[in-house]
């Protein structure tokens, strides 16, 4: 997708927001998305140089960016889809100061304070009324740890007129605060992040994904029919013995039909107070969500706008884990490139 004609068409027909749109395969777009020069150099080192044409999966570039940002991006907490959590037995008006590291692998960067109050924001996905098997987060009767804070036990939830969950109610265990001797007395499997509803700041966050739904826009292949998709083109021929041979062929489609409608989602999220004064192009890891950058154009003093550069995991890593369990070696050249992009523990 580096054809100048197609890139111009994307811009002129307003499928994107300009040449520096973070979804665009341009250097200005990559910079605005939060990709780093060091990440591109790492990508070039890993794929090497080939004399023949080859395809490198997008997940390889994304993993290079993760590896670079992991060491440089300070950690912050953001609740992207907030749900109110009320700690019924927490004193009204009281604030408990919790401490979170700015970077778990770089203690020299110090810690930051996170005030815990009676009303908190948590992710909506961290609570369900009827949990499936293996769900260790909040549900009635279950206990989880508030990251860097206390252990809480869910006692119920409020619903609105439409039957949607409006707020979750919990009780906290005063002697279970992280970093204190009593914290080891409680063994819980769930650990969720949170923000004080009193201190959190509300800001725009843009969740970017790949611009196209498929690796080769405009081309689809018959083998997708095996997964339940309609075939594109199928031909047969008969050999001298009368045996039929089937051929799956690629055929051309309008490449614009393969645009990903979910490539950009703009949401209003709750962010921790330390993000209020973020400067343009400041990069952070939002814990559990991915790596984000303050937009270099739309951010304003005291009102940063954040773009997601990459998520914390990629489908390529999941595929690598499956391959490692099922195969003793990485056979295809593309697989070997993917292997070099992964942390040593996944190779």
Tens digit of each residue's pLDDT (9 = 90 or more) over 217-229 = 887 653 444 444 4
Backbone angles phi, psi at 85, to 5 degrees: -120, 125
Strand extents, DSSP E, the chain: 74-76, 78-79, 82-87, 96-101, 111-116, 119-123, 143-146, 151-159, 165-172, 190-192, 195-196, 201-208, 219-220, 234-238, 244-248, 251-252, 264-271, 283-286, 290-294, 306-311
- CATH number of this structure's domain 17-72+203-211+278-347: 1.10.1160.10
User: Is it the case that residue 215 has pLDDT exceeding 70?
Assistant: yes
Considering only residues 215 and 98, tell me which one the structure prediction assigns the higher pLDDT.
98
Tens digit of each residue's pLDDT (9 = 90 or more) over 248-283 = 455 556 889 999 999 999 999 999 999 999 999 999
User: Is it the case that residue 132 has pLDDT exceeding 80?
Assistant: yes
In this prediction, residues 201-213 reach a mean pLDDT of 96
In this prediction, residues 21-28 reach a mean pLDDT of 95
From the list 231, 304, 332, 264, the residue with the least C-alpha distance to 10 is 264
**pLDDT band, residue 339 (cuts 50/70/90):** low
Half-sphere exposure of 338 (CA within 13 A, CB side): 23
Q: Determine which helix (DSSP H) or strand (DSSP E) holds 318, and give its type and residue range.
A: helix 315-326
- CATH number of this structure's domain 76-199: 2.40.240.10
**pLDDT band, residue 313 (cuts 50/70/90):** confident
pTM: 0.81
**pLDDT band, residue 28 (cuts 50/70/90):** very high
Residue intervals in the chain for CATH 1.10.1160.10: 17-72+203-211+278-347
Here the tokens at position 241 are: 């013995």
Tens digit of each residue's pLDDT (9 = 90 or more) over 99-131 = 999 999 999 999 999 999 999 999 999 999 999
Residue intervals in the chain for CATH 2.40.240.10: 76-199
Here the tokens at position 40 are: 């591109």
User: Is it the case that residue 201 has pLDDT exceeding 70?
Assistant: yes
**pLDDT value of position 2:** 72
| Residue matched to tokens 């999220």 | 269
In angstroms, the first-to-last Cα distance of the chain is 29
**pLDDT value of position 342:** 55
d(CA 35, CA 128): 35
């Amino acid at each position: 997708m580096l054809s100048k004609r197609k890139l111009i068409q994307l811009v002129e027909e307003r499928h994107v927001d300009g040449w520096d749109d973070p979804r665009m395969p341009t250097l200005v777009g990559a910079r605005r998305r939060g990709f780093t020069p060091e990440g591109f150099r790492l990508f070039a080192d890993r794929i090497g140089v080939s004399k023949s044409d080859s395809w490198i999966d997008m997940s390889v570039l994304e993993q290079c960016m993760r590896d670079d940002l992991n060491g440089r991006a300070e950690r912050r907490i953001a609740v992207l889809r907030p749900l109110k959590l009320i700690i019924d037995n927490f004193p009204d008006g009281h604030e408990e100061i919790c401490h979170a590291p700015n970077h778990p692998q770089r203690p020299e960067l110090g810690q930051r304070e996170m005030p815990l109050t009676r009303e908190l924001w948590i992710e909506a996905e961290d609570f369900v009324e009827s949990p499936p098997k293996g769900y260790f987060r909040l549900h009635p009767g279950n206990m989880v740890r508030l990251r860097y804070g206390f252990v809480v036990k869910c006692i119920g939830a409020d619903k609105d007129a439409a039957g949607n969950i409006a707020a979750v109610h919990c009780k906290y265990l005063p002697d279970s605060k992280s970093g204190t001797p009593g914290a080891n007395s409680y063994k819980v499997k769930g650990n969720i992040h949170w923000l004080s509803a009193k201190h959190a700041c509300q800001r725009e966050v843009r969740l970017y994904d790949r611009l196209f739904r498929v690796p080769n826009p405009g081309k689809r292949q018959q083998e997708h029919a095996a997964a339940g998709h309609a075939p594109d083109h199928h031909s047969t021929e008969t050999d001298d013995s009368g045996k039929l041979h089937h051929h799956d062929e690629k055929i051309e489609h309008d490449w614009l039909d393969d645009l990903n409608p979910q490539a950009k989602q703009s949401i209003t999220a709750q962010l921790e107070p330390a993000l209020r004064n973020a400067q343009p192009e400041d990069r952070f890891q939002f814990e559990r969500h991915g790596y984000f950058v303050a937009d270099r154009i739309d951010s304003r003093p005291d009102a940063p706008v954040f773009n997601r550069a990459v998520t914390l995991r990629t489908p390529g890593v999941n595929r690598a884990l499956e391959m490692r369990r099922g195969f003793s070696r990485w056979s295809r050249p593309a697989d070997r490139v993917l292997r070099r992009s992964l942390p040593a523990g996944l190779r």
